[in-house]
Structure 1
Amino acid sequence: MCYDKQKSSVLLEGVIHLNRLKHSSFIGILLVTIGATLWGVSGTVAQYLFHTKGINTEWLVTVRLLFSGLLLLLFGYLKEGKSVYRIWRTKKDAISLILFSILGMLAVQYTYFAAIEHGNAATATVLQYTAPVMITCFLIVRYRKLPSGIEITAVFVAVLGTFSLVTQGNINSLSISPLALFWGLLSAVSLAFYTLHPHKLLANWGSVIVVGWGMFVGGVVFSFIHTPWDFRGEASLTTILAILFIILFGTLVAFVFYLESLKYIGATKASILANFEPLSAALLAVLWLNVPFGVMEWIGTFCILGTVGLLSMVKKEKP
């Protein structure tokens, strides 16, 4: 009888633990899905501001970086206290942070918005998602190792997807402007640097502090190119609400939700589910802004997004 009670107790504990895991997994999936969707929607809202309201790209980049950076640092201060300032006390970390702020954060924000301005949010976001393939190619060359079959397949699928996206299958013509293609691929290069460079900073200081300072410093630097008070475009309630959405929901809320999701489902699952960003950008651009997106563009989109899933299957080597 005692044995039966112990067995029942163990089974009950197992069921409770399993339910907790399912609940945690659901929360993580929900958080990353919302965060990635907000990122995608903010790109489409930016396209609306550029093409409909005549907002200057450089001004929006400056304002987004400054205010989003300040809000993230405030969030970090509430969690970490005065430790948010300690990153500047080490010369090596300070130099690394400045490089990340300019060549990573500022570069990826400006090139992405420039790709939207000269094209559309859907194409710009999908092109930016070729970054994982660029990172894979860089690491293969950097560590002089032969690529695996999965990595070769991912590169091939990404090239095929990019070709389908920008040419609609016709090698003699581009379906987007050369500038949109240039800025879109440059945003992928910037995102690759943004991903690879700050790993030591992130390990030492955490993502909220590093990204918060990265945004703020990038915004301060870009203020010398376009000041935040030099507003150009249509000033209206709709414009203000769209800008606030990009800063608050498309940056702060999206970033915090993505970070929180990592606690529940881990980086691999989160990176795959982050594919909701280009999908939401594409769908909203088509449904709201009437961006033409044919069969070949969708094939190209799913090819590029498929590379994220392929690369997540590559076994990680021990450092």
Structure 2
Amino acid sequence: MSELTTQTSLQPEAASNANRVRRLKGLLLALLGAVLWGVSGTAAQVLFQRFGIAPGWLVAVRMTVSGLLLVTIVGVRTGRLSVLAPWRNLRTAVGMLVFGLIGLLGVQYTYFSAIGYGNAATATILQYLSPLVIVAYSAIRSRRLPSRTQFMCLILALVGSALLVTDGHVMRLSIAPLAVIWGLASAFAVTFYSMYPRRLLAQFGAATTTGWGMLVGGIIMSMMTVRGRTMPNLPLGAWGLVAFVVLFGTLLAFYLYMASLQYIEPAEASLLACGEPLAAAILALAVLHVRMGPIAICGGFCVLLTVTILSRSRK
């Protein structure tokens, strides 16, 4: 009898431990995806400034190639019937088209447009308003106020991101109206692609959903920007940066972020995406030898504190 009681008491503890492991896995996946985004963003900035690459061209190439590779990998691993499953049902096919065009393509195009009309700092700050949008939407939908932990993480994430990209010099930002519009659109696009594909992810998995979404968005973007243009004449090093942006900053980064949504909530994943400016700042400090002031370092600690609080809090 005592043995049975012991086993029964251990079951909730085992389930709790399993949930913690799943939660930690989701947090790490989201953070790693954000870090890859940050590093690839620095690489893309080099391509724009030093080699004259058009943002639309890079978006089209990175999405098309990444989507095609990911779909091919899934097809080889699971078979042709499995990888084509989303297109056999009208509802899921429409959902995949919406996710690819409004979600994945929307995030990348609006973000680079905000950079084009303004600057990377402004675009990043405005894009990282997305946690606020997600938390507000979740509260309205559930008719329940966000928790204290969510409020704390939200404030830390927003403040940390702002300090990282501005180093406290907010008044130096030159914000054009179109930069604000595109930046806010980017925040809503991040919200959409974080929350919309939950059913697609549950039904088809992160790899299939991300691959087809990338391919759909990349094909449409290619039709809009690349058609009729010749390939740019780039040195080998520049093509290496393009390959890095495509493989690591797009294919792997988006897959990791989508996979994290199977373990944690969209609001938490979006908060952890603030690791992107942290990674970009560290890379700029270590590789590009850009000075980072104490205020920017404080912003980095705010982002790290957000990750710590989320990893230790219970769902």
Place the TM-score, normalised by the shorter chain, in its bin.
0.7 to 0.9
Q: Structure 2 stretches of 5 or more lacking a match? A: 1-23
| Alpha-carbon offset, residue 192 of structure 1 | 1.3
**CA separation in 1, counterparts of 2:253 and 2:109?**
18
Q: Which moved more, 1:150-159 or 1:77-86?
A: 150-159
Q: Equivalent residues in 2 for 1:55-134 (5 A)?
A: 55-82=53-80, 83-117=82-116, 118-120=118-120, 128-134=127-133
1:51 aligned onto 2:58:
no
**CA separation in 1, counterparts of 2:128 and 2:206?**
21
Identify the residue that residue 157 of structure 1 maps to in structure 2: 156
| Alpha-carbon offset, residue 71 of structure 1 | 0.3
**CA separation in 2, counterparts of 1:195 and 1:212?**
15
Contact 2:165/2:281, CA 8 A, preserved across alignment = no
Contact 1:46/1:246, CA 8 A, preserved across alignment = yes
| Alpha-carbon offset, residue 128 of structure 1 | 3.9
Query: Secondary structure, in 3 states, of the residue corresponding to 1:230?
Result: coil
**CA separation in 2, counterparts of 1:274 and 1:217?**
24
Per the alignment, do residues 67 and 258 of structure 1 end up closer, same or farther by CA in structure 2, a change over 3 Å counting?
same
Identify the residue that residue 280 of structure 2 maps to in structure 1: 281
Per the alignment, do residues 167 and 259 of structure 1 end up closer, same or farther by CA in structure 2, a change over 3 Å counting?
closer
Identify the residue that residue 239 of structure 1 maps to in structure 2: 238
What whole-Å deviation, never above 9, does each CA across 1:261-287 have from its counterpart, x for those lacking one?
A: 999xx658x958766543221122344
Contact 2:128/2:161, CA 8 A, preserved across alignment = no
| Alpha-carbon offset, residue 199 of structure 1 | 0.3
| Alpha-carbon offset, residue 79 of structure 1 | 1.6
**CA separation in 1, counterparts of 2:130 and 2:223?**
28
Query: Secondary structure, in 3 states, of the residue corresponding to 2:234?
Result: coil
What whole-Å deviation, never above 9, does each CA across 1:165-195 have from its counterpart, x for those lacking one?
A: 5665567x24354466654443332111111
Q: Which moved more, 1:34-43 or 1:271-280?
A: 271-280
1:192 aligned onto 2:191:
yes
**CA separation in 2, counterparts of 1:28 and 1:149?**
21
**CA separation in 2, counterparts of 1:163 and 1:185?**
15
**CA separation in 2, counterparts of 1:182 and 1:204?**
34
Query: Secondary structure, in 3 states, of the residue corresponding to 1:52?
Result: helix
Q: Structure 1 stretches of 5 or more lacking a match? A: 1-25
Query: Secondary structure, in 3 states, of the residue corresponding to 1:55?
Result: coil
Per the alignment, do residues 134 and 307 of structure 1 end up closer, same or farther by CA in structure 2, a change over 3 Å counting?
farther
Per the alignment, do residues 224 and 106 of structure 1 end up closer, same or farther by CA in structure 2, a change over 3 Å counting?
same
What whole-Å deviation, never above 9, does each CA across 1:20-49 have from its counterpart, x for those lacking one?
A: xxxxxx999998876554332211100000
Q: Percent identity?
A: 42
| Alpha-carbon offset, residue 77 of structure 1 | 0.5
Per the alignment, do residues 224 and 253 of structure 1 end up closer, same or farther by CA in structure 2, a change over 3 Å counting?
closer
Query: Secondary structure, in 3 states, of the residue corresponding to 1:224?
Result: helix
Per the alignment, do residues 99 and 204 of structure 1 end up closer, same or farther by CA in structure 2, a change over 3 Å counting?
same
Q: Which moved more, 1:294-303 or 1:132-141?
A: 294-303
Q: Equivalent residues in 2 for 1:286-305 (5 A)?
A: 286-289=285-288, 293-303=292-302
Q: CA RMSD in A?
A: 3.8
**CA separation in 2, counterparts of 1:162 and 1:249?**
22
**CA separation in 1, counterparts of 2:286 and 2:180?**
22
TM-score normalised over the length of structure 2? 0.74
Contact 1:115/1:181, CA 8 A, preserved across alignment = yes
**CA separation in 1, counterparts of 2:153 and 2:55?**
33
| Alpha-carbon offset, residue 154 of structure 1 | 3.2
Amino acid at match of 1:192: T
**CA separation in 2, counterparts of 1:288 and 1:123?**
22
Equivalences, count: 288
Query: Secondary structure, in 3 states, of the residue corresponding to 1:145?
Result: coil
**CA separation in 2, counterparts of 1:216 and 1:206?**
16
**CA separation in 1, counterparts of 2:68 and 2:239?**
18
Structure with larger Rg? 1
Query: Secondary structure, in 3 states, of the residue corresponding to 2:69?
Result: helix
**CA separation in 2, counterparts of 1:163 and 1:297?**
9
